Amino acid sequence: MKMPNNFLFGAASASYQVEGAWNEDGKGVSNWDVFSKIPGKTFENTNGDVAVDHYHRYKEDIGLMAEMGLESYRFSISWPRIFPNGTGEVNEKGLEFYNNVIDECLKHNIVPFVTLYHWDLPQALEEKGGWRSQETVDAFVRFADTCFQAFGDRVRHWITFNETVIFCSLGYLSGAHPPGIEGDVKAYFQATHNVFVAHARAVEIFKKAGYDGEIGITHVFSPSFSIDNDPDNKFAEMHANEYATHWFYDPILKGTYPEYVVNGLEAKGFLPEWTEEELDLLKRTAPMNDFIGLNYYCPQRVMKNDSALVMAGGRENSTGRPGNPSFDGVYKTVMMDDKVYTKWGWEIAPDAFLEGMRMLKDRYGDIKIYITENGLGDEDPIVDGEIMDTPRIEYIESHLRAVKHAVQEGINVAGYYAWSVIDLLSWLNGYKKQYGFIYVDHKNGLARKKKKSFYWYQEIIATRAEDL
Ligand code: BGP
């Protein structure tokens, strides 16, 4: 079987991870500009000041994407480029840059798939409370509306937020991302609720204005599986899926919060402060979501937590290995002897990917799915000057096969975006952890070079994955 003609083969990036030009053309300072410069926060204190200089090289990069045959490019808009202080006056130069990127994509018949928020929050808003604050919600809605108005004549695919669970949990529980707060469970749940409200308000504006196109949100997709059939571990599995998946997917797709979590939070005093109006908004806008974006890297293997510890890290903890207890100490994620892991301890499990998609279909029905990220973080071997990223090819091949299987089973998957189109800054792991089809030579003026996987993906796209 060939993948259907309207299935999009794409690849992704995010503004802070590729653009650089952190203080050029009127761009404001983002929370990541500040956070990454605090000594010890990132691997070798790397930051996105220059990143891979996509800001100045977008034409070359999009040209390479076109050569690869890429059908769609998912990228994000740096909010502080458009509103240097988060709100207030628009920076025209910022709009101009994204107009250029969009036009360059269209020139090459590449569908631009835009993420509005991929974590680089204007620092001015971070200082006013970030996602704990209503001010950020209001400012986001204005930012989203501005982008719809500026780019909505050419952009038909919109993602409001990337991975709420990650930027909120790493921001307020583990402290590994800005604002670097540890163990504030109340703030964590409040921030997630505020993000869902901001999403819902943006969706409603988009729909009311009648733009031609689709809008949705992108979530981490990391379904939990018990390590065995022990009832305590099965309970841990249920609990983990409720807190780490349903809490995020239900308000978007069902318009309500999962009762199990609401009851649990209420008992512990962690329930977000919300209004009836906000809950109505979630309910009213849920059916307006055109799709759900899934970022899938690995599942979670869980068991009951038998230690007194509560969560100290997370998936992105660059120093520790998994084995982290959940924030409430009920379960812990563990590595298993019979599983295969990447060098960074992320399990490679295409079967769990397919199984997870079935679970989603069971719970949420036929909602359209885009796989908005999937890929392998690795240190690619260079042999005689060629980048021989065979493990990446194997990883993507096995996961694309799972996607193909899903489509054959009638799961509504409409596109696949490899992470990442080009080697870029890994938030906490610098440039050492590579993901791209295109190599960036940091010792040679950031020169671009096609990897083995570049040619492989080119072939996959050209044949619409027929041989997979
Ligand atoms: C996702 C993010 C991406 C990207 C990816 C790989 O959570 O949306 O921006 O960074 O993970 O993560 P890492 O670079 O930590 O390996």
Q: What does the pLDDT read at residue 321?
A: 44
Q: How confident is residue 327, by pLDDT bands cut at 50, 70 and 90? A: confident
Q: Ligand 1 pocket: which residues have CB below 6 Å?
A: 14, 17, 162-163, 166, 295, 316, 373, 377, 419, 426-429, 433
Mean pLDDT over each residue of the chain, to the nearest integer: 95
Residue 200 in contact with residue 450, Cβ under 8 Å? no
410-436 pLDDT per residue, tens: 999 999 999 999 999 999 999 999 999
Q: How confident is residue 316, by pLDDT bands cut at 50, 70 and 90? A: very low
State percent of the chain over pLDDT 70. Answer: 96
CA-proximal residue: ligand 1, atom 10 (nearest): 426
Q: How confident is residue 322, by pLDDT bands cut at 50, 70 and 90? A: very low
Q: What number is the average pLDDT over the span 98-120?
A: 98
d(CA 69, CA 63): 10
d(CA 28, CA 183): 29
332-357 pLDDT per residue, tens: 888 888 999 999 889 999 999 999 99
* Nearest atom of ligand 1 to the alpha carbon of 166: 7
Q: How confident is residue 449, by pLDDT bands cut at 50, 70 and 90? A: very high
- Dihedral, CA atoms, 383, 384, 387, 389, nearest 10 degrees? -30
d(CA 30, CA 221): 26
Query: Hey, what amino acid is at 169?
Result: S
Predicted structure pTM score? 0.96
CA-proximal residue: ligand 1, atom 13 (nearest): 426
- Name all domains of the chain by residue range, CATH numbers in brackets: 8-462 (3.20.20.80)
21-71 pLDDT per residue, tens: 999 999 999 999 999 999 999 988 999 999 999 999 999 999 999 999 999
Q: How far is CA 443 from CA 48, 378, 430, 446, in A?
A: 17, 18, 15, 7
Q: What does the pLDDT read at residue 323?
A: 54
* Å from CA of 28 to ligand 1 middle: 23
DSSP state of 131: G
Q: How far is CA 195 from CA 49, 116, 161, 248, 287, in A?
A: 27, 12, 8, 10, 18
Residue 123 in contact with residue 34, Cβ under 8 Å? yes
* Nearest atom of ligand 1 to the alpha carbon of 425: 14
Q: What does the pLDDT read at residue 308?
A: 60
465: β partners: none
Total number of residues shown for the chain: 468
| pLDDT at position 7 over 60 | yes
d(CA 214, CA 348): 31
* Å from CA of 426 to ligand 1 middle: 6
Q: What does the pLDDT read at residue 94?
A: 98
370-416 pLDDT per residue, tens: 999 999 999 999 999 999 999 999 999 999 999 999 999 999 999 99
d(CA 79, CA 88): 12
Residue 22 in contact with residue 33, Cβ under 8 Å? yes
Contacts of residue 88, defined as CB under 8 A and 6 or more positions apart, other chains included, come to none
d(CA 406, CA 358): 8
Contacts of residue 37, defined as CB under 8 A and 6 or more positions apart, other chains included, come to 45, 47
Residue 248 in contact with residue 258, Cβ under 8 Å? no
Q: Which H or E element spans position 365?
A: none
Residue 103 in contact with residue 150, Cβ under 8 Å? no
| pLDDT at position 309 over 80 | no
Q: What does the pLDDT read at residue 306?
A: 75
